[in-house]
Amino acid sequence: MSAKNGTDRTNGTSDPEGTGTPVTTGPRPEPLRFFGTTWVHHDGGYTARRLGLAAGALLLTAAGCLVLRVAYQGLQLADVGGFVTALVVVMFAVCGALAFGHTWGAFTTRPDPARQASLRGLLAIGFLGSLLAYALRCLTEAPGEKLHREEYEAARARHEKRATRRSGNPGNRRR
């Protein structure tokens, strides 16, 4: 769990923003990009967001393919030779496949920040793979929802276990 969704210890009667809504103690769900916390109960246009993001990612993938096609035609026009052209095509294919695998894996496990930083260039070159992985994941769930749901439910279970252990005011116990 990250520090953002730790246990709320205010125990006040209203939220810190002063809207008058009661504060509940316990872990809070971590918001996902483009989804906020709608992934918890699948409300607030969750399905429409998922489908819209999948369509947007596929559209960006198609636009990226067009850009690569123009780049390929530029190589053909420059007459750089078959070896360089093949090398560029293989480079984008391999980087795209590696980016797809890395992005897909990042939806189920937290990526190592040092490894993420070292792969930044490869992921930028293989942007088509990352976009395709995002689009495919949006068709089944919000990207990262499974990971966040597991962490959130584990945190809720830990909180419930602690809360049931500490019931009542210890000062009122009989001696």
Tokens of 141: 């769930």
Any residues with CB less than 8 A from the CB of 37 and at least 6 apart, and which?
Answer: 28, 29, 30, 31
pTM of the entire predicted model = 0.73
Report which of residues 119 and 162 the model is more confident about: 119
Question: Reduced to 3 states, what is the DSSP secondary structure of residue 90?
Answer: helix
* 174 located within any domain: no
* 55 located within any domain: yes
**Once rounded to an integer, what is the mean pLDDT over residues 49-76?**
94
Question: Reduced to 3 states, what is the DSSP secondary structure of residue 136?
Answer: helix
Residues 26 and 77 in one domain: no
How large is the C-alpha radius of gyration of the chain? 24
Residues 20 and 98 in one domain: no
Is residue 153 within 8 Å of 39, Cβ to Cβ? no
pLDDT digit string (tens) for 86-140? 999 999 999 999 999 999 998 888 888 898 899 899 999 999 999 999 999 999 8
Q: Given CA atoms 27, 33, 37, 41 in this order, what sign does their dihedral have?
A: negative
**Once rounded to an integer, what is the mean pLDDT over residues 17-45?**
74
Which pLDDT score, from 0 to 100, does residue 96 have? 96
Count up the domains in the chain and report the number: 2
Residues 93 and 136 in one domain: yes
Is residue 156 within 8 Å of 26, Cβ to Cβ? yes
Residues 107 and 23 in one domain: no
**Once rounded to an integer, what is the mean pLDDT over residues 59-86?**
93
- What is the overall mean pLDDT for the chain? 82
Amino acid at position 9, single letter: R
Domain encompassing residue 21: 1-30
Any residues with CB less than 8 A from the CB of 98 and at least 6 apart, and which?
Answer: 122, 126, 129
